[in-house]
Amino acid sequence: MTVRIDETDRKILAQLQRDASQSLDDIAREVGSSKTPVWNRIRKLREAGVIGQQTVVLDSEALGFEACFFVLIRTSEHEAAWQAAFLKALQDRPEVQEAHRLAGDIDYILKV
């Protein structure tokens, strides 16, 4: 299902992407609206699946991580069972921050 998003929705989404912890009053002020319509739009965008989970961005330096690494993985295994086991193994590794499947010579890229 395609969701129609107007300019106000785009502004709200941009504000949420910038800082999802800001208050409805702050978002409304930035997009030129009031609190209740902004809340209703956010609710509808969530219900439509446009807005998924909200997360926080951690400061790696503050946590004592000196560097961020990207690991490129090439494999000859492409069966669904192997991929499921591989992704499960990655989920069990807290140092893996992100994992992406790629097209081309490299099969996966991990952010650790």
> Would residue 1 count as lying in a domain?
no
Structural domain that includes position 25: 7-47
Burial 3-28 (b: 16+ CB within 10 A, else e): eeeeeebebbbebbeeeeeeebeebb
CA terminus-to-terminus distance, the chain: 34
> Would residue 65 count as lying in a domain?
no
Does the global pTM surpass 0.75? no
> Would residue 57 count as lying in a domain?
no
Amino acid making up residue 56: V
> Would residue 12 count as lying in a domain?
yes
> Would residue 60 count as lying in a domain?
no
> Would residue 18 count as lying in a domain?
yes
Name the domain count of the chain: 2
Distance of alpha carbon 34 from alpha carbon 6, whole angstroms: 16
CATH number at residue 34: 1.10.10.10
> Would residue 101 count as lying in a domain?
yes
* 23-56 per-position pLDDT tens digit: 999 999 999 999 999 999 999 999 999 999 988 8
